[in-house]
Structure 1
C-alpha cells in the first residue's frame, strides 16, 4: 500500500502531549485510520470473486510442482497451497472478522504492527528531534524561512501544507511534526502532520 500522509488542526493546548493524545483518541473513536488491508467487506468480497476462478488451477499447478519434490516436502507444499486456498475463501465469506475492530489504540497498533494505521495513531509520543514513531516541533528557523514569522496562522500553514512546502518535513516515514497556529498574535490551534503506514 505504501505510506500515507496525514494532517490535523486541533484546538490549542499548552500541553502538547495532552493535545496529541486527545487527537489520537478522537481519531481512534472516529475510525479515521486504516485497519487490516483497508478494504471494506464489500471490496474484499469483490476481490475474492475476481480471483476465485484462478484458485483451482493455481492449486492444481502447485500439486504438479509438488510431484517432483521428495517427501515430506511434497505433502507440505500441497498442504500449504490448499490451506492458502481455504484461508482466502474463508476470509471472503467471514466478513464479521473484518468488522471486529480493536477496542483500544494499543490493541489496534499491535494488530497492525509494521503496516501501521496510516494516521496520527502511529505516533506514540513527542520528541524534541525527529524520531521514529514520534511528533517533533517544527524547527523555529524554518518557521521564519517559510512563513516570515514565528507565529503563522491557519491559512498560512494550510497553504504551505497543500502546496507541498512542508513536504520535506512531513514525508519522513513514521515521523511527524507539530506547529503552533496563531490567531491575532495568540496561540489558537495546533497543526499535526506526518507520514506513516506501509
Structure 2
C-alpha cells in the first residue's frame, strides 16, 4: 500500500504534547484512520462497527503493528528541545527552519506550503505553531507520512 501523508489543524495551546494527545483521541474516536484488518475494503475504520474500541486493542493487531494506521495515531510524542527525533515522534518547526523556509519566525497558514517538505521521512511527523494576522498563536499544524 505504501505510506500515506496526513495533516491536521488544531486550536492552539501552549502544550504541544497535550495538543497531540487530544488530536490522537479525536482521530481514534472518529475512526479517521486506516485499520489494517479492514484494508482490503479500502475504507476508514469508522466504516466498521467491529473496529477496535481502545487504542490498546488497535495496537494489539499484528497487521496494525506492521503497517500502522496511516494517521496521526502513528505518532506518540512531541520531541522536546535538545532531543533527537525518533520513530513515531513529532518535531516542532524551529524558528530557524521557519526563517529559512518562509522568511518569518511567526508562521501563518499562508506559509504551510513553504514548510510542508520538512516532513521528509516516513514515521516522523512535524508540527508548527501558526499565527493569526495580529501575530498571536492561533493553531497548530501537524503533518507527516506513515504506514506501509
Q: TM-score, normalised by structure 2?
A: 0.84
Q: For 1:137 and 1:35, locate their aligned partners in 2 and report how far apart those are by CA, in whole Å.
A: 27
The answer to whether the 8 Å contact 1:125/1:134 transfers is yes
Give 1 or 2 for the bigger CA radius of gyration: 1
Alignment of 1:131-170 (within 5 A): 131-157=86-112, 159-160=113-114, 166-167=116-117, 169-170=118-119
Do structure 1's residue 39 and structure 2's residue 40 form an aligned pair?
A: yes
Question: In structure 1, what is the equivalent of residue 51 of structure 2?
Answer: 101
In structure 2, distance between residues paired with 1:106 and 1:173: 23
Tell me the TM-score normalised to structure 1 length: 0.64
Which structure 1 residue ranges, 4+ long, deviate > 6 Å from structure 2? none
What residue number does 1:171 align with?
120
Instruction: Give the unaligned 5+ runs of structure 2.
Output: none
Q: 1:105 to 1:171 in 2, by over 3 A?
A: farther
Aligned partners of 2:60, 2:124: CA distance in 1, in Å?
18
CA distance in 2, matches of 1:172, 1:109: 22
In structure 1, runs of 5+ residues without a counterpart are 44-97
**Superposed CA offset, 1:71-104 (max 9, x none):** xxxxxxxxxxxxxxxxxxxxxxxxxxx6411111
Separation of aligned partners in 1, 2:95 and 2:86? 17
Aligned-partner SS, 2:137: strand
Q: Could you tell me which residue of structure 2 aligns to residue 15 of structure 1?
A: 15
For 1:116 and 1:149, the matched residues in 2 are separated by: 35
Relative to its length, the structure with more helix (as a share) is 1
- Alignment length (residue pairs): 137
1:137-181 residue CA offsets vs partner (Å, 9 max, x unmatched): 113211001111110111221x33xxxx522x2131111011000
Residue in 2 aligned with 1:188? 138
Deviations along 1:84-143, one digit per CA (max 9) or x if unpaired, are xxxxxxxxxxxxxx6411111232123110210000001011123321011111132110
Is the 1:154–1:181 Cα contact (8 Å) retained in structure 2? yes
